[in-house]
Amino acid sequence: MLVLKTESAYIKKLQNGTVTSPKGFMATGVFAGVRKKDKRDLGLILSEVPASCAAVYTLNSFQAAPLKVTKESINTEYKLQAIVCNSGNANACTGKQGEEDAYKMRHTTASKFNIPEHYVAVASTGVIGELLPIEKIVAGIGELMPVHDVVGGEHFSSAILTTDLVPKTTCYEFTINDRTVTIAGAAKGSGMIHPNMATMLGFVTTDAAIESNVLQNTLREITNQTFNRITVDGDTSTNDMVVVMANGLAGNDTLSPTHPEWPIFYQALKLACEDLAKEIAKDGEGATKLVEVQVEGALTDEDAGKVAKSVVGSSLVKTAVYGADANWGRIICAVGYSGVTIDPDLVDVFIGDIQMLKNGQPIPFSEEDATAYLSEKEVMIKVNLNLNEGKGKAWGCDLSYDYVRINASYRT
C-alpha cells in the first residue's frame, strides 16, 4: 500500500481496488458477441443511488452517437446512476441508425435496472463506421448482473478493452470529516490517443459527497493536467470521454473549494486521473517503454505543459527512444516548435540524470550510459527553459514497428 502525505491527512493507494471499491458501486462485464473473439465486450457500472456526475468529451468534429446520448443524459438533471459500455464497435459515423442504437442501449439498461433513462450514460469503442449488432447488445444487457466485489470491477475493466494489452485501474482511500472516502477508476486506450479534452474512455467512481457543478469544474481542470498530457500517436478519436460519478455514500460534508479538506479530495482525484493517463500511455499500441517529459523554468505552467506535450508527441523523439538513441537534437527541435516563448541560449536538456545540453550548448556525456538508460522500460526526459517558475509534465510511449503492424490490420 502506497501512502502519500497531503495536507493533514494521508491518501492511501489500494493495490487491488476497482470501480466497485467506493461504497454503493457495483459492476460487471459479459461477452455479448460484439467482438469476434470470445472476450468480454459489454460492461456496466451501477450506483445504488443517483450520483452527482461530470464528463469531458473529445473535441473531434465527428462525435459518435454514444457521446450525444450521454451528454443528453447528464444535461437533463446532472445525475447518473449507470454507465453501459461496449467494446468492439465504436458506433461512430453511423447516422440516424447509430443514434437509435445508442438510445436503445440506454433504454434497455434503464428498464433492466428500473431507473430513469436519463440516469444512464452510454459509451462505445472499437471500429468506426459499422452499425452496432444491437440485438446482441440488448441480449447482453439482459445478462448483466453487477456485483459489489472486486471481481465485478475486474470484469468491467476487461470488457471495455480493444487493442489494450492490460486493464487499467486505480484506487485511493482517504479521510474527509472523519469519514473514509474512496476514489477508483478504470480506463481503456492504446491507440488514437492525443486528447483534446479526453480522448479515451475513463470511468471514475467515488463515494464522496460533492455537487455536480463543482465536480465538473474540477474534472475539467484536472483533465488538463493529466489526460490532456498524454499522447500515443497524435490522433484524436471520435468517441472518447471521461465520466465521474460521486454518490455521496461516504457521508462526508458536501465538498467544495471552501471545504477545509478540499485539497485532499482534489489531490486524490488528480492522482487517480494521472494513474489512468500514465497507464494508457504505457500501453500504447506497440509500445515498449513509458516516456515521461518534465519541463520546468517556463514562463507559465501552461507553457511548460505545451513543451512537454510537444516533446513526448514527437515521432522522431519516440523512435529515438525505441532505438535507445540519445539524439537530444530531436528533443530541442520539439521544444522549439512547441509554440511557447523560449530562449535557445538558456535551455538545459537531460535524459534521465544525464545532462546533454547546458545553456543551449552541448556538453560531453557517456553515450554508453545514455543507451543503457534508454533501454529501460520507463524513460524520463527533463527540460529546463530557465525563464521563470512554470512546471509541467506529459506522458507518452515509444514508437515501434508493432504500431504499424497493429494498425495496418485493425479491422481484420
d(CA 54, CA 194): 21
Dihedral sign (CA 383, 388, 268, 26) = negative
Instruction: Find where cell 473529445 sits.
Output: 58
d(CA 338, CA 323): 24
Which region, left, alpha or beta, applies to residue 341 given φ > 0 means left and ψ of -120 to 50 means alpha? beta
Q: Does 199 participate in catalysis according to the annotation?
A: yes
What single letter denotes the amino acid at residue 390? G
324 grid coordinates: 535507445
Distances (CA, A) of 161 to 69, 166, 325: 21, 8, 32
Catalytic residue among 162, 199, 205, 231: 199
Distances (CA, A) of 194 to 65, 136, 324, 374, 391: 20, 31, 23, 23, 20
Residues acting as catalytic residues:
199
